Amino acid sequence: MDNENYQREYKKLYNSKNKIVTFPLSNAFYEELKKRAVITDVKTNSYAKYIVTEYLNNNTYKVLTEEQTKYIKEYIHISRGIATNINQIAYNSNIGKQIDVSILIDALKTYEEEFKKFIQKA
């Protein structure tokens, strides 16, 4: 079977098992949906699909508590700080700039301490 026929058969089988649902959503609701999707680290449409399928399966909707949301945001904040430092190091080394190793070690120790405090909260 050539690639074109394979794709045609795949699409036919996929469409026989799945339906695409679209509906309008006010900007305010969409933004809220988008925020919640970001918190759970999934795409907005995937999050909407999850909500609908959970509801249809009569499962309780899993909403993060304010405490859990705060915890996740703090984790993201610390992680982004580390990532930013790594990006700055990579950038400076790529342009041939000298890197002060003591500053790097101090920054990593600071983030290590923040993570220890963060983990102890859990």
What are 19-70's pLDDT values in tens digits?
Answer: 888 889 888 889 999 998 998 888 999 999 988 888 888 765 566 777 877 8
What local confidence, expressed as pLDDT, does residue 103 receive? 76
N-term to C-term CA, the chain: 54
Sequence ranges of the domains in the chain: 24-63, 66-121
Please give the Cα distance from 91 to 18 (Å, whole number). Answer: 46
| pTM of the full structure | 0.42
Nearest C-alpha neighbor of 116 from the set 88, 72, 63, 78: 78
pLDDT computed for residue 17 by the predictor: 92
Structure token pair of residue 122: 């859990």
> What's the mean pLDDT when you consider all of the chain?
82
What pLDDT score was predicted for residue 56?
A: 84
Residue 95 identity (one-letter amino acid): I
